[in-house]
Structure 1
């Protein structure tokens, strides 16, 4: 399979990209190199190879879910530079 400049122009249009002539040529070569590499990968014999979701055999190590008491709202608000009722008061960010 080979990619032409027409193919690259179509893909660029779909992605809303604009390429100059030099960039179009570069993208055509690079996409063809990628497809050539994929063709090489397709030639590899993978018969009997189990699919992997990860290269590691580790599984999640989870801690026990132990209920603990939490600090109160008043204790949390002691760290607030400014507060209003039960809430942190911060400067307005959105105009």
Structure 2
């Protein structure tokens, strides 16, 4: 398969692009090189080769989810600039509608 100018023009229209003649030529050459590379890969004998699902065979080793170093409510609120008995008080951050 070869990429020709008519295909590039169609792709340009579908992608809503406006390419110069030089850009069209460059893209056409690049796409043809990519197709040549794929055709070269198709020459390889892959009979009996399992498809690669993962790059390596490592399995995620996850640590146990344990809560540590908790700060109590009173300690957390101690340095708050504004608070009520249970919560931090902060300025309103939702912008008003204009």
TM-score by length of 1: 0.72
* Partner residue, 1:3: 3
Aligned length: 92
How far apart, CA to CA, are the structure 1 residues paired with 2:80 and 2:38?
56
- 1:3 to partner: Cα distance: 0.5
Give the Å deviation of 1:67.
3.9
CA distance in 1, matches of 2:79, 2:59: 40
Is the strand fraction higher in 1 or 2?
1
3-state SS of 2:60 partner: coil
Aligned-residue Cα RMSD (Å) equals 3.2
| Structure 1 stretches lacking a partner, 5+ long | none
Alignment CA distance shift 1:77-1:30 (3 Å): farther
Gaps of 5+ in 2: none
Query: 2 CA distance for matches of 1:79 and 1:50?
Result: 59
Task: Evaluate the alpha carbon distance shift between residue 64 and residue 32 of structure 1 in structure 2; reply closer, same or farther with a 3 A threshold.
Answer: same
1:92–1:77 Cα change, 3 Å? farther
**1:11 aligns to what SS in structure 2?**
helix
Q: Cα offset for 1:46?
A: 0.8
Could you list the runs of 4 or more consecutive aligned residues of structure 1 that deviate by over 4 angstroms after TM superposition? Answer: 76-80, 87-93
